[in-house]
Chains A and B, each alone.
Chain A
């Protein structure tokens, strides 16, 4: 019994990271994936903020799921989400003011993330505390992973540095830290993941035959 629950939790976490990765697979919540990823530090901090909000929202909704009237559930979800976003927003403004100055608007806009509302509606409102928490962690880590990968490549190629520290000393490709470079980076990474997917799928279907 206990073993099957642990497997479920592991599946639940992996699901968010690989199969339903918010950015590369579902193509939701794209705005911050480009806006804040021109350096690694901002990308990672944004990912952590989203991870925190996602987990806390899932926990809150799943604890309240028997109290919330189905008819007014959407406004209540929005209220819970915006409450936690406000908490994150104020915490970040107080602890990392220099980063907050650059991406404060995007932190506040976590409220409009389709993925957070979708998880609350589809998963947390129907499941118990622990699976909902695992779902939130998986989804959040998937998002953090995507942002980290994107910002890693953009900072490395665009500035030749990582986390502010210079690594490569040749002339960097400036385009990648410009807005346009963000679109290119996401497009190319998405195609890369599609390609891996297609190869993997082909292999597994061969194995089945």
Chain B
């Protein structure tokens, strides 16, 4: 593996360069990608471990200038950033990979929140299960809703799909208001939390202590990133990218486009549900007030800001969108105005987002390149064989 790395890296760099020619814009974070691709495997791992350690240490360190205190508790702010980052990772599968504009993503977040509330809050008459079980349950239920919404609507394209999803977001919010079982504005108190009691008798995962919640959320993000990353590199990921680039062309290449769009939608919905359940657990309270369309737009803004189609970008975008109103409380009321301006400026100067969608099929192209060099080697070998045979044929009569 390690001997191959230099060769692979030069190829990767060439590919990135050829693709960046398409974007045509100046390097910004692109230089980082090149540097990343040039690193050896072990360097990449070392770098990742250091970054991860820093990420886990962040709320404890509470660094000066970055901290959101005294306005907002920093560990809890970190948790909210992590939740937004997770939301953005999920929405990025839908918007970034498969190119489906979902403006009602908040609906899945709401479904996840209510799932956690229904099964853990004493205000709910349903059976109660441990909080941690509600995480996979929220994921599953949100996925089902994703499929239910996707089946009839994914035959629509572009603007039409955006409008339908926008409607769906509103439907869920209104249902939460009018269905008596959802308890409207009264909502559910004392939503569950993971087990464990600290030495002072308080639960470890208390509403006021953001650090363990943050660690839980970051761990969930890492797991989801691994899963999504694997999908991205698989046949499924290739199908998504083909659909995003040209849906009709993908279909006539033999890609079952409807099926893969539905998958993207369901996976995105599942991650949305998961983040909703996490959020509900930390806040400890769920009612119908948090799931408005404006927040849904903020989610899309996070993905676009970070760089549609890039996981790292999504995390960054989500974290920034959550962080700015928490850090600058004086301007928090104007957050939509500020994000609006930021997005306009960004679209003018860097339309691909902070971290551009990477040379997507890179892993795959490496394979393709290997295939080509393989078959070339085989051809060269067969030519040599032929030449040798010809030599031998010449040689025989001489003897």
Chains A and B are bound partners:
no
**B residues apposed to A, CB below 8 Å:** none
**A residues apposed to B, CB below 8 Å:** none
